[in-house]
């Protein structure tokens, strides 16, 4: 590497930004990674673990080119020192940025990260005509970053309570969105759309796991409820899932019905069990009376640092929807997520038109915490998602149904 570096023209410190005509702010500029950046690895390499210079050098040489996400370094203008980074992630027409700034720079670093977010959001939305761009996680302890984002017209769309760990306390974190003003003119302001609702909106007593005689325990069960039990998904479940997916009756709760192949589902189920620790814990929901596999519940995107994750559920067999099985299975999942995985909070995202899923969440104790605007295409426009959250302590404080009551409450 040193040979190549010797051939490169030497750039006077503090002049790096003059080599680019955009993504340059008042104090920082953004550029992609280049050889030599490994020397500041601790300041910009994202992830739970801080990496060494040598490990980062090989990562830049060998692995970075295979990464799908764009990684932009935040570079201080006055001396070209790398101080942080932004990762860009995209899905459909939405773009998300997640940033890291070396915490040793203190408040100064917050100013730089705020400026970097603004550069990236304005570039994506105003210059590249993106529909919407967002910043995924800004802790409530970062007013400088929030003010900077507000100064360009960003809005907080969701506030997840106690989902951001700082030391041994949990504080709120905000999801912040930057909408394309031209699209707002055409489609109206999604923040003014009313969230449609169904169901009672009332939380019900928790249907807790039941004790089962050891000889009658369902095979491979991890939690057993009055009517259903959870067990790890296995390759053989894929065929059933595919069979039910072909009989799906409701196109509204996702972006239309999907065609799924058995091999892809088999691979997915096998892969779910490979990570250690698992980033996506997903269980089959089976009937106790005959072991039939009727759906799945899980926690995706588990963040063991902030001790949170996104809960998800899907009853593939349409006959078993709207009968309380989803709620019973979710309480078994909560017991696993909070008491076995040690999570502190669970988040959930639900499409506005999927009022049943939102009603089920409210029934399970989740609180409405905001909106994720324009996430999917819908009838010549975009549809919003509602955001929801359940804290472990809130769930623990909910009344428990007796075993006798649980049968009635489940429905
Ligand atoms: C979402 C799902 C897991 C919920 O489980 P479930 O067992 O059906 O839910 P429950 O029966 O416990 O609760 C349903 C709630 O919605 C209401 N509801 C029932 N049918 C409804 C319908 N067709 N439309 C709107 N609301 C309905 C019920 O009244 C109940 O609320 P309430 O008890 O406060 O009145 C399940 O319906 C499902 O798999 N749906 C398809 C996949 C899906 O939408 N997954 C979630 C993606 S975010």
Q: Mean per-residue pLDDT for 395-408?
A: 84
65 dihedral zone (left: phi>0; alpha: psi -120 to 50; beta): alpha
Q: Do residues 184 and 223 share a domain?
A: no
Q: Is the pLDDT of residue 173 over 60?
A: yes
Please answer whether residues 290 and 317 qualify as being in contact, where contact means their C-beta atoms are separated by less than 8 angstroms: no
Kindly state if the Cβ of 318 falls inside 6 Å of ligand 1. no
* 370 in any annotated domain: yes
Single out the residue of 226, 174, 216, 215 nearest to residue 371, CA to CA.
Answer: 174
Distance 388 CA to ligand 1 centre (A): 15
* 378 in any annotated domain: yes
Distance 127 CA to ligand 1 centre (A): 41
Q: Do residues 7 and 64 share a domain?
A: yes
Q: Is the pLDDT of residue 410 over 60?
A: no
Looking from the CA of residue 314, the nearest atom of ligand 1 is 39
Q: Do residues 46 and 132 share a domain?
A: yes
Q: How far apart are CA 405 and CA 407, in angstroms?
A: 6
Q: Do residues 399 and 254 share a domain?
A: yes
* 196 in any annotated domain: no
Q: Do residues 170 and 272 share a domain?
A: no
pLDDT at residue number 406: 72
From 188, 203, 234, the end of a domain falls on 188
Distance 264 CA to ligand 1 centre (A): 27
Q: Do residues 231 and 357 share a domain?
A: yes
pLDDT at residue number 257: 92
Q: Is the pLDDT of residue 148 over 90?
A: yes
pLDDT at residue number 1: 47
**pLDDT tens digit string along 240-287?**
999 999 999 998 888 889 999 999 999 999 999 888 889 999 999 999
Q: How far apart are CA 24 and CA 32, in angstroms?
A: 13
Confidence of residue 64 (pLDDT cuts 50, 70, 90): confident
Q: Do residues 232 and 325 share a domain?
A: yes
pLDDT at residue number 411: 55
Kindly state if the Cβ of 317 falls inside 6 Å of ligand 1. no
pLDDT at residue number 62: 85
Q: Record the pTM.
A: 0.93
* 204 in any annotated domain: no
Q: Is the pLDDT of residue 395 over 70?
A: yes
Q: How far apart are CA 77 and CA 75, in angstroms?
A: 6
Q: Do residues 55 and 157 share a domain?
A: yes
How many structural domains are present in the chain? 2
Q: Do residues 54 and 93 share a domain?
A: yes
Q: Find the CATH number of the domain harbouring 323.
A: 3.40.630.30
Q: Mean per-residue pLDDT for 374-388?
A: 94
Nearest CA to ligand 1 atom 41: 314
pLDDT at residue number 9: 64
Please answer whether residues 163 and 345 qualify as being in contact, where contact means their C-beta atoms are separated by less than 8 angstroms: yes
Q: Do residues 154 and 227 share a domain?
A: no
Q: Do residues 178 and 239 share a domain?
A: no
Q: Mean per-residue pLDDT for 380-390?
A: 96
Distance 197 CA to ligand 1 centre (A): 11
Q: Do residues 28 and 172 share a domain?
A: yes
pLDDT at residue number 402: 80
* 144 in any annotated domain: yes
pLDDT at residue number 119: 98
Domain of residue 45, residue span? 2-188
pLDDT at residue number 254: 80
């Amino acid at each position: 590497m040193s040979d190549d570096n010797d051939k490169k023209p030497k750039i006077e410190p503090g002049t790096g930004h003059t080599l680019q005509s955009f993504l340059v702010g008042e104090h920082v500029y953004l550029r992609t990674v280049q050889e030599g950046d490994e020397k500041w690895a601790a300041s910009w390499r994202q992830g739970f673990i801080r990496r060494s210079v040598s490990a980062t050098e090989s990562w830049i040489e060998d692995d970075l080119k295979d990464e799908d996400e764009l990684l932009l370094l935040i570079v201080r203008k006055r001396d070209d020192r790398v101080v942080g980074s932004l990762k860009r992630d995209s899905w459909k027409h939405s773009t998300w940025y997640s940033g890291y700034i070396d915490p040793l720079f203190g408040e100064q670093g917050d100013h730089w990260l705020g400026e970097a977010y603004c550069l990236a959001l304005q570039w994506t939305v105003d210059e590249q005509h993106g529909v919407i761009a967002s910043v995924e996680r800004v802790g409530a302890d970062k007013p400088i970053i929030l003010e900077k984002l507000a100064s360009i017209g960003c809005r907080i769309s969701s506030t997840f309570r106690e989902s951001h760990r700082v030391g041994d306390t949990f504080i709120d974190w905000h999801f912040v969105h930057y909408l394309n003003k031209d699209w707002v003119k055409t489609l109206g302001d999604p923040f003014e759309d009313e969230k449609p609702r169904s169901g009672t909106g009332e939380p019900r007593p928790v249907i807790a796991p039941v004790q089962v005689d050891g000889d009658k325990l369902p095979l491979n069960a991890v939690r057993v409820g009055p009517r259903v039990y959870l067990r790890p998904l296995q390759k053989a479940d894929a065929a059933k899932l595919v069979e039910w997916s072909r009989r799906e009756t409701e196109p509204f709760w996702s972006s239309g019905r999907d065609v799924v192949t058995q091999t892809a589902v088999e691979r997915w189920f096998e892969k779910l069990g490979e990570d250690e620790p698992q980033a996506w814990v997903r269980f089959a929901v089976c009937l106790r009376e005959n072991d039939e596999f009727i759906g799945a519940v899980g926690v995706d995107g588990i963040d063991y640092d902030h001790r949170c994750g996104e809960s998800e559920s899907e009853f593939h067999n349409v006959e078993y929807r709207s009968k309380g099985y989803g709620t019973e299975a979710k309480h078994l999942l909560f017991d696993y997520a909070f008491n076995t995985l040690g999570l502190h909070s669970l988040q959930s995202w639900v499409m506005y038109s999927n009022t049943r899923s939102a009603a089920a969440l409210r029934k399970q104790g989740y609180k409405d915490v905001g909106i994720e605007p324009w996430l999917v295409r819908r009838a010549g426009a975009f549809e919003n998602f509602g955001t929801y959250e359940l804290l472990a302590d809130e769930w623990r404080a909910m009344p428990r149904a007796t075993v006798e009551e649980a049968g009635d409450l489940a429905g």
